[in-house]
Chain A
Amino acid sequence: MMLRVVGKRLLGAAAGGQASPALAPAARRGYHERVVDHYNNPRNVGTFDKDDPDVGTGLVGAPACGDVMKLQIRVDEGSGRVVDARFKTFGCGSAIASSSVASEWVKGKQMEEIVAIKNTEIAKHLSLPPVKLHCSMLAEDAIKAAVKDYEAKKVKLAKADE
């Protein structure tokens, strides 16, 4: 309840006037509802232990660019399924929302499925404006980087066992 009020207020502030939720987003320069939601209630913020063999860590971006995303996945070795995810992002509201969405979408999926998650889907889900499409791309990159890290770890561990 509180959140909707805050959300409305934020959207209202952007519109500079009475905010009626029925107004189309295109009519004002504001963040889409879903972005505001993820910003106020980001899902899965946190960290896993990087050295945990079940964890893959994707770290993308650079502070100088204004965006850094860290996405971590915990994979169940037996099934190859992502059982949990955490993210931390430094960046704009759209970047935070994109990585929050990514952290939600990877849960419960197979690794092959999550590398198929496209930035266009994330961007569409959040109604990102053209200038923010790069944030969704970064989120897609973060997912792929996390998977890559997990696979690389497994290879290393397998070699160590030999």
Chain B
Amino acid sequence: MASRKLLLGLTAGRRLRSRTHQLFSVANLLEASTSHSPAAAVASTQPSGGSPAALLFSLRTISSTRQATQSAGDASGRSAVDHKLIMPEDEFHKLADETIHDLLEKLEEYGDSIQMDGFDIDYGNQVLTLRLGDLGTYVVNKQTPNRQIWLSSLVSGPSRFNWDAATNGWIYKRTRANLVQLLEEEIGELCGTPVELS
């Protein structure tokens, strides 16, 4: 009983604290127990002391399967992480930031031009939030460990985009959709006026 509380207490007790603290504590433990260290970025930070609750979480389960299935629409199941294939983090940030800033600019212009009620665009902490009045909200953010851009769409739900050098765009593996094109289609549809985001 106590262990269960602690396991879940990991998030309760630490809800008010920075989430990054959580990530680095557990990631540090993971690093210690596996030969494959997931994100190089994690290794570069100093975790401030282990979190006792995290220790209770069965590391054996995580470490026994190396990097767990990336829910990136990868239907082939679990795959060990090959560091030579992971995009370097600064390259990822460059590409992702460029894309997101671009979207931000174009959507701001769009918002000004269509004068839609309740159209609100916000960019804070590297998260782009687009409110379309009562229709709902779009959220676009970077998911650095996965080298992905995550989208929460009020039409198509959650999706995760990987950089595709071949097409020079962000692609959702499951549907082969392109991030910018998808947003163009959906937002144009929702607001009634076509939008150019590329």
Contacts and interface: CB of A to CB of B under 8 A. Distances in A.
Interface of A: 39, 42, 45, 47, 58-66, 68, 70, 88, 90-93, 96, 119-120, 123, 129-131, 133-134, 136-138, 141, 145, 148
Contact of A59 (B8, B61, B146, B154): B61
Interface residues of B, number: 45
Q: Which of A47, A64, A137 has the most CB of B within 10 A?
A: A64
Contact of B145 (A42, A65, A141, A145): A65
B37 to A, nearest CB: 9
A62 B158 contact: no
Interface stretch (B62-70, B95-103, B107-115, B116-124): B62-70
18 contacts: A47-B58, A59-B65, A61-B71, A62-B68, A63-B30, A68-B62, A88-B57, A88-B58, A88-B61, A90-B26, A91-B11, A93-B11, A119-B158, A130-B139, A131-B127, A131-B139, A131-B152, A141-B71
B145 A62 contact: yes
A64 B38 contact: yes
A125 B19 CA distance: 25
A60 B69 contact: yes
